[in-house]
Amino acid sequence: MKATVALRGRGQLAAILNQVLQVARQATAWHEPDARNMRTLRQLILAVLVKRSTRLIVLAQAIAPWRRANTVKSVSMGLAYFLDEAKISMGSLSRYLLEGILRLIPAERMATYAGKAIVVIDPTEYQKRSRGKGKGDNYMQYIGRVRKSHSKRRRKKKAGGNGRTKARAPSSASGRQEKTETTTGYVDVWAGLVLKGKQFLPLARQLFSSKHPKLKSQNKVEEAVLFQALGVLKRTGLAAIVVGDKGLGRKELMVRLFRAGQDFVLRIDSDINVWPDRAQVEINLAALLQQQPWVGEVIWDRGEEGKLRCNARVVTATIRFSRSGRKNDYEQARLNFVELVPLEGFDETLVVATTLPVATLVEAKGVARVYSWRWSVESGFETMKGWGLGRFMVRSWKAIERLLWIEALAYGLMILAQYDEKLTRLREQAIALIRQMAALGRRLTVGKMAEAMSLDFAKHQRAWKTAWLT
């Protein structure tokens, strides 16, 4: 089908990017990049959006008409040089730009609980086919080990069943722990703000590999990313609640957040020891929860996996963390714990630790709702991976980091485009174009907005160049 609708708000979208730059430049520590590097960065952001890819040869196809080069391959080589060698602090620059986007997001668009914004943190993994060595040292730098994905197998099981899947037992029939299959790849830790509609605005991220000579602990990387995101919110005057999955529910981190006065809702393993109120003897948390009465029925929203009706029970207890292992050398935190036990059809329970009150059924439901917003980051990953987040082919650690930051900026710009009043006409035109060329779905999402730009860019490259680079 031939498209008869064109996007007329290209210049307004470019103006929004300029506005983000103006806001970012007001930061005290802002360092203005070289004009040529900034121009290349702008080109790459647009190329990621209209090509929805991170392959340099694909991005070069969009950029080639704008550059003084004879072939697309020579342009891709120039982009590789930019990612490897350009004198630009991409990490700090990107964080300031994302903070600028945050400052332009209307406050009423943010998901809040008890007047506080929601910050979600989660790692994602990129499986890469590399043995860490190759001819002429042409291999991905510091590539480590990640868990092997079984998503295809899980989808087949779900398709063959009744739509509900039971949790797989953590151990084999013999009682021994099953060995986790691994492959080569990288871990990427992201933290960001939850917006209404379970949308995710990235604020901080960092790549991790166990093979990197300076990054010895994924836990430390996760904490660094989390506190960078919290720092951004603090500078913008927003108090926040931290939300994370089971991997973040570590005693050390929870005690640190508690002592800093930082609210959180973190999923944990119930197989830990705690000290109940007015008790001098520790007890297993799972056993303590089983002693508690039910407070009522709560819905466990598991995102794409559906919702479960659960019985809820709550308890308050103290956790202790000791780095030295000595008896009286510990730090502690008094926390509330909520357990959701599905009523039928599912044998996995949800246990979260929180600083939020849970004395009533309404408060327990509120904590469960806050935890459900964690799925916003999964939706963000799904969209960005559709744009090639994990399919990069650059080799050096620096180039990978810079390319992932560029995709974060492209995604953040599209999030802002969803809300900015100046782009109302552009969104209407994007809806009309998508309806004409493909199925729109229930609403205009970030992914659909980028798809509309891609369709328009294919026919109006000169107009995009004029709007984007002037």
Q: What residues make up the domain containing 441?
A: 10-107+394-468
Running DSSP on this structure, what letter comes out for residue 247? G
User: Does residue 162 surpass a pLDDT of 80?
Assistant: no
Across the range 269-293, mean pLDDT stands at 91
pTM attached to this predicted model: 0.90
Q: Does one domain contain both 276 and 364? A: yes
Confidence (pLDDT) at 440: 63
- 160, 153 in Cβ contact below 8 A? no
User: How far is it between the farthest Cα atoms of the chain?
Assistant: 77
Q: Does one domain contain both 416 and 348? A: no
Number of domains within the chain: 2
The pLDDT tens digits of the residues spanning 188-218 come to 999 999 999 889 999 999 999 999 999 989 9
User: Does residue 45 surpass a pLDDT of 60?
Assistant: yes
The pLDDT tens digits of the residues spanning 108-141 come to 999 999 999 999 999 999 999 865 565 556 789 9
Q: Element (H or E) spanning 253, and its range?
A: helix 251-259
Confidence (pLDDT) at 443: 80
251 CB-near residues (< 8 Å, 6+ apart): 272, 319, 320, 321
Confidence (pLDDT) at 304: 83
The pLDDT tens digits of the residues spanning 54-76 come to 999 999 999 998 888 889 999 99
Confidence (pLDDT) at 8: 84
Q: Does one domain contain both 99 and 15? A: yes
Q: Does one domain contain both 41 and 97? A: yes
How many of the other CB atoms lie within 10 Å of CB of 238?
Answer: 17
Domain C-terminal end among 322, 341, 373: 373
Whole-angstrom distance, CA of residue 43 vs CA of residue 63: 7
- 95, 24 in Cβ contact below 8 A? no
The pLDDT tens digits of the residues spanning 331-348 come to 999 999 999 999 987 778
pLDDT greater at residue 166 or residue 271: 271
Across the range 87-106, mean pLDDT stands at 95
Domain C-terminal end among 344, 373, 402: 373
pLDDT above 90: percentage of residues in the chain: 71
Confidence (pLDDT) at 148: 86
Q: Element (H or E) spanning 465, and its range?
A: helix 461-468
In a domain, 381, yes or no: no
How many of the other CB atoms lie within 10 Å of CB of 35?
Answer: 8
The pLDDT tens digits of the residues spanning 173-193 come to 333 444 678 899 999 999 999
Across the range 153-173, mean pLDDT stands at 40
In a domain, 136, yes or no: no
- Average pLDDT value over all residues in the chain: 88
Q: Does one domain contain both 399 and 364? A: no
425 CB-near residues (< 8 Å, 6+ apart): 8, 9, 12
User: Does residue 470 surpass a pLDDT of 70?
Assistant: no
Confidence (pLDDT) at 197: 87
In a domain, 288, yes or no: yes
**Residue positions counted in the chain:** 470
User: Does residue 166 surpass a pLDDT of 60?
Assistant: no
β-bridge mates for residue 263, sequence order? 241
